[in-house]
Structure 1
Amino acid sequence: MNEKIVTVDPLQILHSLKDKAKSGFVRYPVFVSGDDAFLQNIFFAGDVHAVVSDSLCGSHILPWNKVRQLLGKGIGAVALDLRAVVDVDKLCVVAGSVRGGELLFLIVDENRFPESHFYQRFLRLGDNSAAAFLRQEGHSSLPTVDVANVESQIRLQTTGATKSQQTAIAAIKKVLSGHRRRPALLVADRGRGKSSAMGMAAAEVMLQSQKQIIVTSPYFSNVETLFSHAADRGDLIKKVRFSLLADNGSELSFVAPDALLRDKPHCDLLLVDEAAAIPLPMLSKMLKAYSRIAFSSTEHGYEGTGRAFSHRFRGLLNTEAKGWQEVILTEAVRWAENDPLESWLFKAFLFDAEPLVPENNERTIKVKPINARRLANHEDGLRQLFSLLVTAHYQTSPNDLVQLLDGQDQILLGAYCDGVLVGALLAAKEGGFDDDLAKSVASGKRRLKGHLLAQSLAAHSGNVAVLEKPLLRIVRIAVLPEFRKKGIGKQLVSAFEKAAGEESINIVGTSFGANKELWQFWSSLGYQPLRLGVRRDAASGTYSLQLGKHIQGKPDWFDGIQHLFYLNFKHQMCEQFSDMDTELVAALLAGSDAVSPPSVFALHQVDLFAQGSLGYDLVTGSLWHWFIHRLATRMTQNMSNDIGSLMISRLLLRHSWAEVSERYGFHGRKDTEAAMRDWIRQQLEK
C-alpha cells in the first residue's frame, strides 16, 4: 500500500478530492475533525447537499430520526455528524443514496469516546487508503486509490437501464408470460439497481395489459425506490402511498409479508424485494401460495445477510420451484465500478466478511471466552465472528457490530476447531435494579434500554421480584453450517450456564421467534416457556417466545410466571394464536401443568362421542379438556399424523369445519367428524 499523502491544508485536499470524484464518477469517504466554524467552511467548499445532525443548527440540517428521507434519492454530497453517536444502519442508508461524483463527509471527534472499542476502530478507518481525513489541527490526508475516467459509463447510466437491469426486466416479464412456478431471483451487491429494475419491469407489464402486481418487503421504505421508478417509467398515478394505478386499470400495491400470507390477496405477479430480510419459511409459503414471483436479494449490505442466505434460498428454489432463473446484476447504477466509498464501507462494516471453514470438522471443539477489547484490535478475529453471526441469523445488521464491540455487561463465548472460530454465543446481563426502579419498571412507568427479558417478564406479570436480582439472557447462538448437528450449540450453552453459576446468577433465559425446531433445541436443554408475544413479527412471521431456566436456587416468581403462561395460552389459542402452526401448539403444551385431568363424567362423554352416540356440538367442552390434557401429559405422542393436527385445528384453534375439512382432505363436516371419532376411539383403547 502506498504511503498516504499528508498536508496541513485541508481545503486544498478537498478541492483535489472533488475533482477526482467528478472525473471518476465515484464517491469518497471524507473524515472531518474540527470546530463548527471549520465545519461550515468544509460544507461550503464541499457543496454539501444535506447535513445530518442532532446538534448543529440550520435550514439544511436534517435530524437523525429523519435520515430515511434520503433513501434512494440519488443525492449530492452529505455530511453526517458522528460526534455523539454512530448509527451504522443509517450511515449505510445515506451512503447508498449518494450518487457518483460526490463525497460523504463523516464528522468525528478524535478526543471523544476513548472507552468505545467501536469508535476507536472507526477512527482508525479514516486512515484507510480509500478515505480522506480533513483536520483543522494536525495533518490531513488524501486517499491513495486512483480510479480511471469513466465519462462514457456515466453517459450510459444516465440514459436508462444498465445491461444487467435490462436482463432483469426481461426475466421478470418472462415470469409472467412463461410457465407457471418458474420464479426469477435478482442478486447483487447494493447499488446495482435491483429495486429500480423491479419498478421498471412492473411499469412495462402494467402498460401492456391490465395486471395486478403486489410488492412485498419487510418495510415499505425498502421499496420506495421501486415505486418511484415504476411511476416514472409508466407515468402511473398514485392512488395512495401504497398503490399506483395505470389508465388501463392495472395496479401496483404494497402488502407486508405477514399480511400477504394471512390474507393471500390475488395478484398476477408478486415482487418480493429484499428477500434476504424475510425468513425462509415465509418465502416457502409465498412460493406455495403464488405461482408467478420475482425475488430480489442483497448479497452484501445493510439489508442483506451475506451469501449464506442466497445459498440456502437457492436450495429452497431447487426443491420447490425447479426451472427458476437467476440474474446477477453487476454494474453499479449511481456510481462507477471500483467506487472508493463502497470498498471502504465493505471493510469498515464487514459487508464482505466470509467465514473461514476448517478442513477437518471432526476435531475436538474447545470453548473459551472472547475478549471484546482484543477483538477490536484483531481484525481477522472480528471478521470471523461477524461473518459467523451473519451466516447464522437473518436479521444481522451493521449496528450489531457496535453492540459486539461496546456492549455493556456482555458475555462472549467462542467454540474453536483447530484455532478457528466455528461457533459463538452472545449473552447480556439484565435486571439487578434497586427497589424503586424495579417498581417503576414493573408498573410500566419506566423502560430501560436493553433488559429485554427481565423487563418483559416483570411488566407482563406485575412481579417486581423478577428485576431485583440479575439474570443472563442469551442473545444469539451461531454455528457454521458445516459444524451444525454436532452438539456445538449445546456445548456453548453448557459453558455459558457454568459461567453464570460462577457469577451466582440463578436465572438464565433467551428470547426468539418461536418455531418447532428452536423450541425442541431449547426445551431439550431444560429451558421452560415464560411468555409468548401475541403479535407476529412483520419480518419473521413468528411470535416472540421467552424461555427461562433456573440453574441454582429457583426464585419464588419462576413457577408463578410459568403458570401464567400456560393459563393464558390455553385460552389464547383460539384467538390470538389461531394461526399458529399445529405442531408448535402441541410442542408448547407438552409438559404443561395448567390443565387438570378431565373428570370421569367428561371422559364418559368423550367415549360416547367416539362411539357415535353423541354429536360434536354436545361434547365440545369435554373433548377440549380431554385432548389438551392428553397433549400436556403424553407430550407429542401420536401427533405426527394429520388427524392429530386436525384435532388441534378444530378443538384448540377453533378453525371452521369448512377450513379444517378442506385443509386435511375430507368431504365436509360429516366426513371430518367421522375421522375424529375413529382417531379418538383408537386413543381411548390404548
Structure 2
Amino acid sequence: MDIRSLVQSLKAEATETNERRMIVFSGTQSAGIDAAYTAIDAYGTDDVHLVTEQEGFRYDRHHPDQAATLLGQTKEIVVVDCHGKWTPDTIGQTVGAVDGGGLYIMLTPPLDDWNQQETSLATAVVSPPYTKHDVGCRFLDRLIRLLETHPGISIVSVDDNTRIDRYEPTSTNTAPHLQPRVPTQPQFPLRVYEQCLTRDQVRAVQALESLATPNTAIVIEADRGRGKSTACGFAAAALCADGIDVTVTAPTRDHAATLLAAAAETIENLDSPADGSISFQPVEDATKAANETSVLFVEEAAAIPIETLTKLTAATSIAFSTTVRGYEGTGRGFTIRFREQLDASSHHIQYCTLSEPIRYAGDDPIEQWSFRTLLLDASPPVEQAVSEATPETVQYQQLTQDMLATDESLLRSVFGLLVSAHYRTTPTDLLRLLDAPNASVHALLHAGHPVSVALVVEEGGLDSQTRERLFRGGRVAGNLVPDILTSHLRDAEAGAPIGKRIQRIATHTSTQNQGLASALLAEIRSTYQTQCDYLSVSFGATPSLVRFWSRNGFQTIHLATTQNATSGKYSVLLVDPCSAAGEQLADRHRNWLLDRLRGTLSGPLSSMDPDVVAETLGGIDRSTSDSVPVSLTDRQWELVGAVLYGPGLLAASPTAFEMLLCAELIDPASELTSTDRHILIRRVLQGWAWEDIATEVGHSTTRPTKRAIARGFRPIGMRFGGDRLAREQARYM
C-alpha cells in the first residue's frame, strides 16, 4: 500500500462514518512535506490549511504562533509541521478544525529517535538558570506512545523508501445521525429551529425560550464544537424579533463573535422585522448595567470571576454558556463553583448540556485521541473517594515528574484538579507539569487520591549578567516575580534571591473550606524552608483570595495598576520570606508599595473594589518595617479634630486622613462596619464624588454617606492620636 491508496482508504472510512482520520508522516521535514502534498492530491481537495514556519505553499498557511486563528474554522485537511516551532497548544488549536470525513496530518521527525532530538518543546518551558538540556521528554514520550497505539491513526515512514508502519482499518460506530426535530409548540419561529443541526441544539434553543419570562437563568455547557454559541445566537435573534432588547457580554468581543454572527444571520432570515435590539457590552459595562438589562447572554462564563458573574445575575433573565473541554481549558468547575451563588438568586434555573458534535460523529477517534493526549477530559477524583478528607486524614507527598509520567490515573487526577480550578489551563501546562526543570508538584493524598495539589515553579537565582539584562528591559522566561520587581519596580537585585512561586493550587470541591489548602502550603513551606529565599504567589485580587494568602503568612508587596483584560482584576503579588535575603526583598518592596499606594489609589486604582483595597493593605506585614504609619503634625491633628468634632472640612487636610485610614487598614483594630469602611475608602483614598458613593451604597442622598466620615474616623483618630486628638475633641465639646 502506498500513500495514495492509504489516503483513499482513510477518506472512504471517514466519509462513511462522518469521522476524521489522522496520518503521521515520520521522517525529514522535506520528505514529510512532499508526502503531505501527495496525500492532499490523493484526497482531492484544495480546502487545506498548513501550520508551519516554512513559506511558499499554494494552500492557506499560518505560522505556529498564529495557529489559534483556526479555532472555529473548518477544513478538509489540516497539516501540522512538528519539525520547527510547535507546542501542545498547536495541536489543541488545530485538531478541531478538521471536518467530518477529513484528515489531520502531522509531520514529525522519525518517531524512533524524536525524543532524542532538540525540539521547540524545550524552549516553551525552559527558564534561567536552567538550559534546554535540563528539560525532560516525558510529554513527547507519551505523545509518541499514543500516536502508535490509538485507533484512527496511521503512521508512514517517508525517508528513503516510503513505508506504511501502521494502518488498521477502523471499525467505528456507523449509527445514523439523528436528525433534529422541531418542537410541536415552539415559542420561537419555526425558521429558528430549522437552522439547528443537532437535537442537542434544538434542546438548547427550546430551553432559551424561557428567557422571555422574567427571573429565568439558563446554564449551557458543552465541549467545543457542539454549537452552543450558535444556539444562543439563534435564541437571541428570536427574542430580538419579539421586541426584547438583548445584551451580550463575554471576556472579549472575540468570544462572542459566533453568537453575534448567528444572531445577525437569523434576523435576516426571519420574515418579520426585529422590534428589539442586540448589543455587545464588555463585562465591566454589563456588570454596571445588569439591573437595567432585560435579557443577558454571557459567553464563556467560566472565564469570568465568580464575583462578577454573581453581579451579572441582577439582569432580569440571563443565559450563561461555557466550554467544558477544549484547547483553552475547561469550565467543568464552573457549575460547581457558581451553583451556590446562582441558587441564592431569585431566578428559576435550568441546566442544559450539549454533547453531540456538529462537524463530526460523536465517537470520532481523533477527538478522543486529542482529549487523551492533551488531557482535555482529565477529571479530579470522584467525590466519594475524597469527601471525608480532612487535614488529619491526608498524607503530604511531593509527586515527581517520573511518578506522574508512569501513573496515568494519578496524572489525570492531578491535572484534572488543576484544570477544574483554573479556566485558562492549556495543553502546554501539561508539558510544563511533566518536563519543566523548574517545576514541582505537591499534593495531599487521601487514601491515595489527590485532594489538594499545588504546582510550584522556581524563579530567581539569576547571575549578574542576566539581572542586568532584565533591568535594561530584556525578558527572562519563566521568572514572573523577578521580572515584575526588576523591570517594573526598578529593583536591580530582585533576581538574585531564589524564589518558589505557587503557580497553581487547587483543592477538590467536595473538601474545600476545611483547611486542606492551608495545610498543603504549610508542607510546601517546610519543604523549601532551607532551599529558597522566599515563596511567592500572584493572582487577580479578590477579597477572599487576598485574605486567604495573608492568613497563610504571605505579605503584599505589589499591586498592579492595570486590570487583567480577561478577569477584570488587578494582579497582586505576595511573598513569604524564608531567609534573610527574602526578608530584605520583602521589606524594601513593602515600603515602596506604601510610598506609592496613596497616589495610585486615587489614580489608576480608583475603580478597585474597596474590599480588595482593604484586604490588600491588610496583607502588608509591618513587623520588620522601620516606617511609622502615622506621623501627623500638630496642625494636621487640629484639622482632623475640626472635621471629626467641629465645623472642619475634609478637603482641608486630605493627607492626614489618608495616613490615618491606611494605618488602620494595614493593622485593623477599629470596629468599622463594612459600609462605613467602603465609604471611607471610596472618598478618602480613591477620591470618589459623594453622589457616586451614595448611589453605590444605596443611599438616597449624600447626607448619610457624609456622616460616615466622622463616625468611622473617630475611633481611628483616638487610636493613633490619643491625648492629642482628645484635646481637640474637648475644644468642641
TM-score (norm 1): 0.89
Task: Structure 2: state its 5+ residue gaps.
Answer: 117-135, 158-162, 183-192, 720-733
**Partner letter of residue 36 of structure 2?**
L
Secondary structure of the structure 2 residue equivalent to 1:99? strand
What residue is the counterpart of 1:432 in the other structure? 461
Judged with a 3 Å threshold, the aligned counterparts in structure 2 of structure 1 residues 361 and 39 are, in CA distance, closer, same or farther, namely same
Aligned mates of 1:260, 1:208 — CA distance in 2: 22
What residue is the counterpart of 2:75 in the other structure? 75
Measured against aligned partners, the alpha-carbon deviations of 1:539-582 in whole angstroms (never above 9, x if no partner) come to: 22211111122212235444222211121112211111112222
**Partner letter of residue 506 of structure 1?**
D
Measured against aligned partners, the alpha-carbon deviations of 1:385-428 in whole angstroms (never above 9, x if no partner) come to: 10111222232222211111121211221211222222222111
1:565 matched to 2:565? The reply is no
Report the CA distance between 1:518 and its aligned residue. 1.8
Judged with a 3 Å threshold, the aligned counterparts in structure 2 of structure 1 residues 434 and 515 are, in CA distance, closer, same or farther, namely same
Secondary structure of the structure 1 residue equivalent to 2:98? coil
1:512 matched to 2:511? The reply is no
Judged with a 3 Å threshold, the aligned counterparts in structure 2 of structure 1 residues 663 and 321 are, in CA distance, closer, same or farther, namely same
What residue is the counterpart of 2:7 in the other structure? 14
Report the CA distance between 1:123 and its aligned residue. 1.3
Report the CA distance between 1:622 and its aligned residue. 3.2
1:272 matched to 2:301? The reply is no
What residue is the counterpart of 1:365 in the other structure? 394
Secondary structure of the structure 2 residue equivalent to 1:167? helix
Of residues 166, 180, 204 in structure 1, which corresponds to 2:202? 166
What residue is the counterpart of 1:230 in the other structure? 263
1:121 matched to 2:142? The reply is yes
> 1:343-382 to 2 correspondence within 5 Å?
343-356=368-381, 357-358=385-386, 360-362=388-390, 364-382=393-411
> 1:209-358 to 2 correspondence within 5 Å?
209=243, 211-235=244-268, 251-261=277-287, 268-288=294-314, 290-356=315-381, 357-358=385-386
1:648 matched to 2:681? The reply is yes
Report the CA distance between 1:522 and its aligned residue. 1.8
TM-score (norm 2): 0.84
Measured against aligned partners, the alpha-carbon deviations of 1:203-261 in whole angstroms (never above 9, x if no partner) come to: 2333343x543322223333332233223322399xxxxxxxx9757543433323433
Report the CA distance between 1:458 and its aligned residue. 0.9
What residue is the counterpart of 1:59 in the other structure? 58
Q: Is the 8 A contact 1:587 1:636 kept in 2?
A: no
Of residues 37, 42, 45 in structure 2, which corresponds to 1:45? 42
**Partner letter of residue 533 of structure 1?**
A
**Partner letter of residue 131 of structure 1?**
G
**Partner letter of residue 255 of structure 1?**
Q
Report the CA distance between 1:85 and its aligned residue. 4.3
Aligned mates of 2:241, 2:209 — CA distance in 1: 12
Aligned mates of 1:277, 1:344 — CA distance in 2: 25
What residue is the counterpart of 1:553 in the other structure? 580
Q: Is the 8 A contact 1:603 1:626 kept in 2?
A: no
What residue is the counterpart of 1:178 in the other structure? 213
1:628 matched to 2:625? The reply is no
**Partner letter of residue 202 of structure 2?**
Q
Aligned mates of 1:101, 1:470 — CA distance in 2: 53
Judged with a 3 Å threshold, the aligned counterparts in structure 2 of structure 1 residues 133 and 172 are, in CA distance, closer, same or farther, namely same
Judged with a 3 Å threshold, the aligned counterparts in structure 2 of structure 1 residues 406 and 252 are, in CA distance, closer, same or farther, namely farther
- After TM superposition, the structure 1 stretch with the greater mean CA deviation from structure 2, 478-487 or 261-270, is 261-270
Q: Is the 8 A contact 2:507 2:516 kept in 1?
A: yes
Q: Is the 8 A contact 1:53 1:62 kept in 2?
A: yes
Of residues 532, 535, 558 in structure 2, which corresponds to 1:531? 558
Measured against aligned partners, the alpha-carbon deviations of 1:102-134 in whole angstroms (never above 9, x if no partner) come to: 122222222333342111111111134433122
1:201 matched to 2:201? The reply is no
Q: Is the 8 A contact 1:25 1:150 kept in 2?
A: no
Report the CA distance between 1:462 and its aligned residue. 1.7
1:142 matched to 2:171? The reply is no
Secondary structure of the structure 1 residue equivalent to 2:325? coil
**Partner letter of residue 520 of structure 2?**
L
Measured against aligned partners, the alpha-carbon deviations of 1:132-154 in whole angstroms (never above 9, x if no partner) come to: 12212461223644121636759
What residue is the counterpart of 1:192 in the other structure? 226
Q: Is the 8 A contact 1:23 1:149 kept in 2?
A: no
- Number of paired residues? 664
Measured against aligned partners, the alpha-carbon deviations of 1:575-618 in whole angstroms (never above 9, x if no partner) come to: 11112222221222235546333334323322222223323343
Q: Is the 8 A contact 2:611 2:678 kept in 1?
A: yes
Report the CA distance between 1:353 and its aligned residue. 2.0
Q: Is the 8 A contact 1:597 1:626 kept in 2?
A: no
1:383 matched to 2:412? The reply is yes
**Partner letter of residue 16 of structure 1?**
S
Report the identity percentage: 26
- After TM superposition, the structure 1 stretch with the greater mean CA deviation from structure 2, 658-667 or 406-415, is 658-667
Q: Is the 8 A contact 1:23 1:150 kept in 2?
A: no
> 1:387-466 to 2 correspondence within 5 Å?
387-444=416-473, 446-466=474-494
What residue is the counterpart of 1:657 in the other structure? 690
Q: Considering only aligned residues, what root-mean-square deviation do their CA atoms show, in Å?
A: 2.8
Report the CA distance between 1:295 and its aligned residue. 1.2
Q: Is the 8 A contact 1:153 1:336 kept in 2?
A: no
What residue is the counterpart of 2:98 in the other structure? 98
